[in-house]
């Protein structure tokens, strides 16, 4: 008998969440849409940034079964295009021997999301800067790994924001 009483709080929580209209804001449940993600223009010397952003955006859009990413612009409902404007790695702090110990990666981007059929802009960001601090480390390999990790966090956060804005903006169309 004690076993059945354990599940009562879970049952009550489930009923409360279902009755209050809670839904996951990261999942789109509307009519099926297709999105074409254009290759981001890259004005930096970091050649892999554009493809990293593309892959991360793909992972985010795959969270919704109602949004499909297509490889051709023809037939797509939405188009997402962007540009990596610049990357900056200024030193933040210095150690005893005047060598940098911490750096802040700054990635400047711009992007636009449009509904193709009506030419309606869902999201337009003409200039946005993302920053992430990281430690230099003891060796040059550590510094490179830490820089890459910081840039990956920036790209993940950027992609998440774009996806969530898309999901919240589509039902308004």
pLDDT value of residue 59: 94
What band does 114 get if pLDDT is binned at 50, 70 and 90? very high
What band does 171 get if pLDDT is binned at 50, 70 and 90? low
pLDDT value of residue 154: 97
Please give the helix or strand (H or E) that residue 134 lies within, else none: strand 120-135
Q: How far apart, in whole angstroms, are the C-alpha atoms of residue 122 and residue 105? A: 28
pLDDT value of residue 2: 53
Whether residue 110 is predicted with pLDDT greater than 60 in this model: the reply is yes
Beta bridge partners of 76: none
What is the pLDDT averaged over residues 110-119? 94
Q: Which CATH number fits domain 37-172: 3.30.1540.20, 3.30.70.2740, 3.30.70.80, 3.30.160.150?
A: 3.30.160.150
pLDDT value of residue 138: 74
Q: How far apart, in whole angstroms, are the C-alpha atoms of residue 57 and residue 154? A: 12
Residue 50 φ then ψ, to 5°: -60, -45
pLDDT value of residue 52: 95
User: Higher model confidence: residue 36 or residue 6?
Assistant: 36
Q: Where are the beta strands (DSSP E) in 3-119?
A: 33-37, 41-42, 67-70, 78-88, 91-94, 100-115
Whether residue 23 is predicted with pLDDT greater than 80 in this model: the reply is no
The closest of 140, 142, 111 to 127, measured between CA atoms, is: 111
């Amino acid at each position: 008998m004690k076993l059945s009483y354990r599940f009562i709080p879970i049952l009550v929580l489930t009923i409360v969440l279902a009755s209050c209209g809670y839904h996951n804001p990261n999942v789109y449940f509307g009519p099926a849409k297709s999105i074409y993600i254009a290759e981001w223009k890259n004005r930096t010397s970091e050649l892999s940034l554009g493809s990293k952003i593309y892959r991360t955006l793909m992972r985010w859009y795959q969270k919704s079964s109602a949004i499909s990413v297509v490889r051709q612009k023809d037939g797509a409902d939405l188009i997402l295009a962007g540009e990596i404007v610049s990357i900056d790695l200024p030193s933040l702090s210095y150690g005893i021997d005047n060598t940098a110990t911490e750096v802040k990666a700054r990635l400047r981007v711009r992007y636009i999301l449009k509904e193709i059929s009506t030419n309606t802009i869902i999201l337009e960001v003409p200039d946005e800067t993302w920053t992430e601090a990281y430690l230099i480390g003891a060796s040059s390999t550590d510094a490179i790994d830490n820089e890459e990790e910081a840039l990956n966090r920036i790209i993940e956060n950027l992609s998440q924001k774009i996806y969530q804005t898309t999901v919240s903006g589509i039902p308004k169309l």
